[in-house]
Amino acid sequence: MSPQPEKLAQLFLEGKEKQALEYLQELCNDDNKLSLYEDMITPAMYHIGELWELNKISVADEHLATGICDMVISQMENLYFRDKTTLPDEKKVMLLGVEEEQHYLGLKMAASVFKDQGWTVRYLGPNLPLHHALQFINEWKPEVIGVSAALSYRLPKLKEFLQAFQEVDFEPVIIIGGRMTKKHDLDSYSEKKVIVLEDLRSLQYWLDNGREGDMNATS
Ligand code: B12
């Protein structure tokens, strides 16, 4: 069966959580959860964004679809969680959306990718004020901080967060993700332990190949 994100989007819009999950389960096996996140759920939500932009669906429709999508991701997480608790050292990642950012489905999927790789994850969701983020960082001391932002006008806020995170004395690696990375060239942000990753496959690649170099790098 060929994957059809538009069909999934339709199920989200009709509020059909069970059918959406069943549809994904027909396509899913133990090894392709990431591909379903990247090639089905993400394009389904982008499609919903287009319908919304074209006024073909209402804000209420879009909220319903988002809610169903969120529930489906949670269920996928339970059904296909790979319990790989065998990382030699405990590796800790904290994930957050910058202050006022409400888009979080991508961040939630990134949390899933880290968990599947055996990381200890603290997913703090969207809209986290900077001082609360810093307090958490200094107490919990994650090796990696993943930040997500979707909207262009969030760039100054993102920069403020990055600057503050780069001043943390134990020098965590900072990953920038989110729709903004696909819309803007954020290469100039890639400095002192800051990495820009456009999607979950790049994240997976970095976890498989790039991580040690980055995490051992001196600033
Ligand atoms: C659902 C949705 C909402 C929901 C979000 C709820 C939620 N739980 O997330 C709500 C209703 C709150 C919302 C609000 C708004 N939204 Co909105 N929204 C969307 C929509 C339809 C889907 C977003 C989504 O979930 N996409 C799917 C996820 C999986 O994609 P993603 O975030 O890009 O994530 C991928 C990567 O970026 C990456 N990733 C993401 N985070 C991270 C983090 C790390 C560490 C890593 C490694 C990777 C990574 O992984 C994912 C897979 O590749 C988009 C359409 C779109 N094109 O995205 C519009 C969209 C983003 N929204 C838009 C707008 C305008 C708004 C509002 C301003 C509307 C308004 N007037 O109020 C507000 C702003 C709210 C705010 N303060 O942030 C516009 C933005 C347009 C622009 N020019 O920038 C879009 C594009 C819709 C449109 N076509 O016009 N929105």
Q: Do 28 and 51 belong to one domain?
A: yes
Write out the residue range of the structural domain in which residue 53 sits.
5-79
Number of domains in the chain: 2
**Residue 68 domain-assigned?**
yes
Protein residues whose CB sits closer than 6 Å to any atom of ligand 1:
38, 42, 45-46, 48-50, 52-53, 62-63, 66, 70, 100-107, 109-110, 146, 148, 150-152, 175, 177-179, 197, 199-200, 203
Q: Do 53 and 110 belong to one domain?
A: no
Q: Do 152 and 122 belong to one domain?
A: yes
- The pLDDT assigned to 88 comes to 61
Q: Do 97 and 201 belong to one domain?
A: yes
**Residue 139 domain-assigned?**
yes
Mutate to test the pocket of ligand 1, among 8, 13, 103, 147 (most ligand atoms within 8 A of CB): 103
Beta-carbon contacts of 197 under 8 Å, excluding residues fewer than 6 positions away, are 175, 176, 177, 181, 203, 206
Both structure tokens of 153: 């006008």
Amino acid symbol at 142? P
The CATH code of the domain that includes 181 is 3.40.50.280
145 alpha carbon to ligand 1 midpoint, in Å? 20
**Residue 87 domain-assigned?**
no
The CATH code of the domain that includes 73 is 1.10.1240
Protein residue with least CA distance to atom 26, ligand 1: 45
**Residue 84 domain-assigned?**
no
- The pLDDT assigned to 217 comes to 39
Q: Do 56 and 115 belong to one domain?
A: no
208-to-110, 116, 146, 152, 214 alpha-carbon distances in Å:
14, 12, 17, 30, 12
Q: 80: how many CB neighbours lie within 10 A of its CB?
A: 18
**Residue 145 domain-assigned?**
yes
pLDDT digits (tens, 9 = 90+) for 56-74: 999 999 999 999 999 999 9
For residue 148, the SS3 value is strand
- The pLDDT assigned to 218 comes to 33
Q: With a cut of 70, which residues of the chain have pLDDT below it?
A: 1, 30, 82-89, 189-192, 211-219
Domain boundary among 46, 79, 112: 79
